[in-house]
Amino acid sequence: MHKWWARRLGSVFRSILLYSVAEDKLQGWDGRPSSLWKLYSENVDLGGKVVLDPMMGGGTTVIEALRLGCKVIGGDINPVSWFIVKKQIEDIDPELLRDSLVKLEKDLGPELRQYYQTSCPECGETAEAIYYFHYKVGLCSKCAKVTPLMRSFFLAKSPNSEGDYVICPQCWNVFETKNARKMSKCTKCDNKFIPTDVSFSKGRRFTCIDHKCGNSEKIVDSVRDSGKFREQMYAIEFYCKHCDNSGSKRLAKGRGYKASDDRDRIVLEEACKEYQKESQKLPIPDTLIPLGVETKRALNHGYKKFSDMFSPRQLLNLGKIYRWIMQIEDRNLKEFLLLAFSNSLKYNNMFAKYNATRGFITDIFRTHSYSPSMSPVEANCYYTSKGRGSFTAFVNLVIEGKEYCRLPFERVHDGESMKKIQFPRQKPRKIAENYQELMKDADVLLRCGSSESIDVPNEVVDVVVTDPPYYGNVMYSELSNFFYVWLRIALKDRYDIFEDELVPHEKEVIENRYQGKGKEEFIDGLTRVFTESNRILSKEGIMVFTFHHKRKEAWGALLRTVLDSGFYIVKTYPVRSEMKASTHLHDLDNIVYDMILVCREKEVDGSSKSWKSIKSSIHRSVQKMITQLKNEGESPTQADTFTMILGKTLELYSKHHPQVMVNGEPIDPEHALETIDELLGGL
């Protein structure tokens, strides 16, 4: 229902919870995975069990624990996280959301639609613009020639043929060709070129459009000298219902591509003029972008405020929709529409790109970063019959989510086919204000603030299940500020946690050089959270969390944290971390598997163990893991294998710490991890 970075799979966390707390609650549970799997899709009730997630992020643990009937304590320092999880839990009649879309269309529909209309090149009728294609304009510092920072002149695969849509770099005509990787001839000016080979921008540099000049310069240097690049519209993807209804052979289901024309430029100009006139009356954030690990890239490209990430047409229409939402009196309805509006922002900005081979827009956070686009794509922010990104589509996603919350189901493969299993209707969840209310008649206690101190008694939690920050992998506060600055406008007068101009990061557990946080700060912060979790956890309880990282330093920091907070690692398991279709993982040499680490309170053990013997055990265990994964059709990479080695090292080292010996002397965690590279070569 809303974007959150590195959101973990509910199936994984439901399985973790079943393993962690179901053993003494369910008849027929014999400890075998096969018998647990049968429980996965049943209406399991673990009422009476209390689950804590001190770093809840997108709320996967919270939601799955509630589905199993547990009472849940969830916390996060980030107000955006808190708001997302709150709305995922709270109930609303989906019909109220549907009615709000009807009213929005009546109040603002024609006013918003006028800026997303174009002419169909096939029939001449008015068509619906789905996406507008722009390129950034660079100015050559040597000859002052205006240069389009296009990386390729391949626009998109043709939806109704084996050909490709391409752009002529000479006259900017959009036409179909058999193959964008081969020589093409423009249907308008007869220019011959290979669309995928023509490029004026590559990597961090751009080259002057004048071949005689041939000047090449860094993009950030040009921005520093001339300011943020302006954008130039050059093409449109559209939907024509007239061609769709008539069964046009040229347009597949009414969709097609065209070069922008005079009408399109006039519409854009009118939108820009209205924005200049109305901007001060619209609820648009005026917040400066702070310097950070991820924001530095945006700052280097000339973006100074978060509002700079949007075009005037986007700000005009988003501002109108937001103003309409803020006038709604029903607080709960207003907040659900705010959730949908906030989520729609990820597509309606000038950092969005286009997936040319698959024919759809990709959002600003296709990777966990701010990555300025040289060829940004502007979506229709209000409504589209086709395509992605409109506000109304995100309201419908919330509707779908709330219908699922009320009447959840599961799809399970029975060996032959997928079958849908329907669960009973769920009662609305009650959110507690404090621990006493949680234990009395509520279902969940949500906290926004540091989990270094949680106002609940000692030893009252049965299991801690969490997904802590992976050292410096994801800069949560920096990224979530993109949503926060918009949400704050509507929420600051109701919730104190939205009073600050930006997401608070002082207590954020992370490695971030711009926050002055390195390895020691990460260890110190996570140790305090884990120590507090240990205080709240029952003596028989376990703490389970997931982790992965490419750097041994991060694993060494994690091991120190576990040991210093009074735990040791009982067991580790590799598990797929994100969906196979994740854009963050697709075609990248990224780590696919998380390690699940199961921890218990450390007991004093006077026995010692040689580090050489432990390394032999690590080798055997990881070899067994890899064999099992391959038998299940998986293909762990070398990076994944190393992650498994690191996870197993933490497990076996922690069991014998501080009596892990080399030549009669104890070896500390960091030095132990430095010696395990050799294990990778033997696997």
- Chain segment 270-292, per-residue pLDDT in tens: 999 999 999 999 999 999 999 99
Largest CA distance in the chain: 86
Residue 613: inside a domain, yes or no? no
Per-residue pLDDT reduced to its tens digit, 394-447: 999 999 999 999 999 888 877 788 888 888 888 999 999 999 999 999 999 999
Residue 594: inside a domain: no
Pair 21, 82 in one domain: yes
231 strand-pairing partners: 136
Instruction: Tell me which of 547, 576, 592 is where a domain ends.
Output: 547
Q: Would you state the pLDDT for residue 577?
A: 62
**Token reading at 391:** 């506000």
Beta-bridge mates of residue 132: 236, 378
Are 235 and 118 found together in one domain?
yes
The CA R_g of the chain, rounded to the nearest whole Å, is 27
Beta-carbon contacts of 217 under 8 Å, excluding residues fewer than 6 positions away, are 140, 141, 205, 206
- The Cα–Cα gap between 343 and 1 comes to 8
From 485, 513, 547, the end of a domain falls on 547
Shared domain check, 127 and 248: yes
CA distance 402 to 268: 36
CB 2, CB 51: distance < 8 Å = no
Residues 445 and 338 in one domain: no
Is 282 in the same domain as 379?
yes
pLDDT at res. 682: 67
Say if residue 497's pLDDT is above 90. Answer: yes
193 located within any domain: no
- Of 543, 552, 545, 554, nearest to 510 by C-alpha is 554
| Same domain assignment for residues 347 and 440 | no
**Rounded (10°) CA dihedral 549, 553, 557, 563:** 100
Mean pLDDT (whole number) for 43-71: 92
Structure tokens at 84: 């997302």
Q: Are residues 57 and 112 in the same domain?
A: no
Per mean pLDDT, which range of 236-250, 255-269, 275-289 is the poorest? 236-250
| Contact status, residue 50 vs residue 461, Cβ threshold 8 Å | yes
Say if residue 585's pLDDT is above 70.
no
More confident residue, 252 or 260: 260
d(C-alpha 1, C-alpha 86), whole Å: 11
Residues of the chain with pLDDT > 90: what percent?
70
In 10 A of CB 49, how many CB atoms?
Answer: 22
Q: What is the mean pLDDT of residues 656-663?
A: 88
Instruction: Fill in the DSSP letter of residue 268.
Output: H
Q: What are phi and psi of 38, to 5 degrees?
A: -65, -30
Q: Does one domain contain both 460 and 357?
A: no
Q: What percent of the chain has pLDDT over 70?
A: 95
The reply to whether 407 falls in a domain is no
At 503, which CATH number? Answer: 3.40.50
Q: Are residues 437 and 497 in the same domain?
A: yes
Amino acid at residue number 589? D
The answer to whether the peptide bond before residue 658 is cis (omega within 30 degrees of 0) is: yes
361 shares its domain with 320 = yes
Digit-coded pLDDT (tens) for 184-223: 999 999 999 999 999 999 989 999 999 899 899 999 999 9
Q: Is the Cβ–Cβ distance between 137 and 149 less than 8 Å?
A: yes
Residue pair 490/283 in contact (Cβ under 8 Å)? The answer is: yes
Is 23 a domain residue? yes
Q: What is the pLDDT of residues 528-582, one digit of tens each?
A: 999 999 999 999 999 999 988 878 888 888 899 999 999 999 988 888 765 544 4
Question: Both 58 and 37 in a single domain?
Answer: yes
pLDDT of the residue at 23: 63
Domain range enclosing 216: 97-151+199-399
First to last CA, the chain: 41
Structural domain includes residue 5: no
601 assigned to some structural domain: no
Domain boundary among 497, 516, 547: 547
The answer as to whether 83 is a domain residue is yes
Mean pLDDT of the chain: 91
Q: Are residues 365 and 513 in the same domain?
A: no
| Structural domains of the chain, count | 2
φ/ψ region of 138 (left if φ > 0, alpha if ψ in -120 to 50, else beta) reads beta
